[in-house]
Amino acid sequence: MRRKLIAGNWKMNGSMAALVELDAIATAATRSPGVDVAVAVPATLIAPATARAPTLAIGAQDVHHGDCGAHTGCVSAAMVREVGARFSLVGHSERRADQAESDAHVRDKATAARRAGLDVILCVGETSEERDAGRAEAVVTAQLAASLPDDAAGPWLSVAYEPIWAIGTGRTPTTADVAAMHGALRARLRDLLGVEAEAIRLLYGGSVNDANAGELLGAGDVDGALVGGASLTAAKFVPIIEAAARLG
């Protein structure tokens, strides 16, 4: 069945000196052969991170939807792939908010990433207002349908459910809420893709840490985690990898 995937997201954090953290993360990954481990680093660190931890899946946090051209300041999927990225996040809520990325834009980025040979972690999630209004499942499944790349299939594609109100706040949904949302996402994927839906991993993200990882990863239809703050140091990230390994 689906292997667990534990993916770190360093966001706009990290430096050449911080790459030392990858040593123990890579060792933990090697000791947990049943778990896939990945770290999305800032674009400037992709090449040195790959050189330092060649066994670890290093990825990008975003790519442009085009292959090349007049887009000052942007980086294409082929460019990050050339320097060692094996995957990219797309549609993280911080980009959807800060860079006004629409579902259609995210879809084009995911398609471009796949075209360049990258795996894709597509992020979706609701605001606290949407959850309070009882609209979380409707909002998130609609986001999924509108952001799915061409020829969506697993295992190269994962979907990360990240409630925006849980990111960096220390608040998490109940495991029942996570299981319900993941069930809704799986059902929507089946409607859209048929059997191809089965190999797509559904990750939970938002304030995952060593204390709550076991419970969140054990919730129904949770195939892994996307981890921000707790991925910045091996001391915090390795226990999450170990929790996934215990679940098998």
Write down the least CB distance from residue 40 to ligand PGA, Å: 9
**Which is the catalytic residue, given 64, 65, 92, 182?**
92
Using the Cα atoms of residue 203, residue 205, residue 209 and residue 214 in order, give the sign of their dihedral: negative
> 45: which 2 tokens?
């660190």
- Shorter beta-carbon distance to ligand PGA: residue 173 or 228: 228
Is residue 205 near ligand PGA by the rule CB under 6 A? yes
Is residue 222 near ligand PGA by the rule CB under 6 A? no
Q: How far apart are CA 246 and CA 80, in angstroms?
A: 33
Q: Is 198 a catalytic residue?
A: no
Q: Is 71 a catalytic residue?
A: no
Q: Near ligand PGA by CB under 6 A, which window of 13-21, 58-66, 143-151, 224-232?
A: 224-232
Residues 156-175 that bind ligand PGA (CB under 6 A): 162, 167-168
Residue (of 111, 94, 89) closest to 39 by Cα position: 89
The packing angle between helices 136-147 and 175-193, to 10°, is: 40
Other CB atoms within 10 Å distance of the CB of residue 128: 14
Write down the least CB distance from residue 194 to ligand PGA, Å: 29
The dihedral formed by the CA atoms of 98, 99, 104 and 107, expressed in degrees to the nearest 10? -90
Write down the least CB distance from residue 191 to ligand PGA, Å: 26
* Residue number, nearest CB to ligand PGA: 228
Burial of 155 (0-12, 13-18, 19+ CB in 10 A): middle
Among 45, 226, 234, 238, binds ligand PGA (CB under 6 A): 226
The packing angle between helices 103-115 and 136-147, to 10°, is: 40
Is residue 228 near ligand PGA by the rule CB under 6 A? yes
Task: Map residues 27-56 to x or -, x wherever contact with ligand PGA holds by CB under 6 A.
Answer: ------------------------------
Write down the least CB distance from residue 160 to ligand PGA, Å: 7
**Residue positions annotated with a catalytic role:** 92, 162
